[in-house]
Amino acid sequence: MHGAHKEVALSVHGTAPGGMADVVWRLRSRGCWQEAADLLRPQAGRDPTAALQRAELLIEQCLFTADHWERAEDALRLAEASVAGNEHRAAASCARGYLAYVASVLGRRDRLDEAQAALGRTSALLPPKAPGRPLLDFRRGLVAENLLHDPAAAHSAYTRAHEGARERGDDLLRSSTWCHLAGLALAAGDQERARQGFGTALKLREQLGFTVGVAPALAALAEVSEPAEAERLRAEASRLVQALGGVPVWLARRLGRLPEQSPAPDGGTVHDPRHGIS
């Protein structure tokens, strides 16, 4: 996933309530998820919104590091236990589906059924024009693309998410929908559309200051650039990954910053999503 940090469920696009919002956003954007989550801890025990935001931060940490799974599970269980009303219930279910997706695609274990069931519950809880619909559609697109290998279904879900994010002014989510729609275009042989999408995603992330998400966008744009420009983009992505301590791990491996087959925390293998998984 960014001036769209106002949603109940953070995931690819939110931060914290009140005056702490900017601090949490700055920490998150630099890959300091644990520090941001620690700031939310006092509120999380009494505020369902803060509990959900804290869980989403720690799920994003899993996404970028392929580690810290128990922290995310514990935070999500706390959020699920504190839900108040359908809006929070839907957001918690959406986070549950996303955690199951991330665990599946990064090779920890297959949780496809759990991801689909949780996202299905989310859909049943959300009215058609609910604020959480674009994020839900995006996550359903991720499952369709990376777990079900159904590009048509992924394209449909990403398109709905893209339009919903545009209507809501959620530029962080739009950066992700641009990137994934571009990846599908590239797979279909449409280099020009892919170049436009990857370029727009990069521009949005740079404008919004989502530093930890810039390197994947640079690497994606390199795939559809001329050789000299591609080399420059990959070098820039590599420097950024190194500056951020080797995250995201799946990109660090592609750029030669980690062994080609990095062991996952449970002894499995971290998969290599070509255009990122967020």
- pLDDT tens across 160-205, in order? 999 999 999 999 999 999 999 999 999 999 999 999 999 999 999 9
What is the per-residue pLDDT across 220-239, written as a single tens digit (0 to 9) for each?
999 999 999 999 999 999 99
pLDDT at 84: 85
Asked if residue 163 belongs to a domain, the reply is yes
Strand partners, 263: 269
pLDDT at 256: 82
Asked if residue 89 belongs to a domain, the reply is yes
pLDDT at 258: 54
Asked if residue 13 belongs to a domain, the reply is no
What is the per-residue pLDDT across 41-100, written as a single tens digit (0 to 9) for each?
999 989 999 999 999 999 999 999 999 999 999 999 999 999 988 999 999 999 999 999
- CATH number of domain containing 123: 1.25.40.10
- Confidence grade of residue 10 (pLDDT, cut at 50, 70, 90): very low
Q: 181-206 in b/e burial notation, b at 16+ Cβ within 10 A?
A: bbbbbbeeeeeebbbbbbbbbbebbe
Number of compact structural domains in the chain: 1
pTM above 0.85, yes or no: yes
Asked if residue 161 belongs to a domain, the reply is yes
Asked if residue 181 belongs to a domain, the reply is yes
Q: Cα–Cα distance between 198 and 68 in angstroms, integer?
A: 29
Asked if residue 174 belongs to a domain, the reply is yes
Q: Cα–Cα distance between 206 and 201 in angstroms, integer?
A: 9
Asked if residue 3 belongs to a domain, the reply is no
| Mean pLDDT (the chain, rounded) | 88
Asked if residue 173 belongs to a domain, the reply is yes
Q: Which domain holds residue 66?
A: 18-254
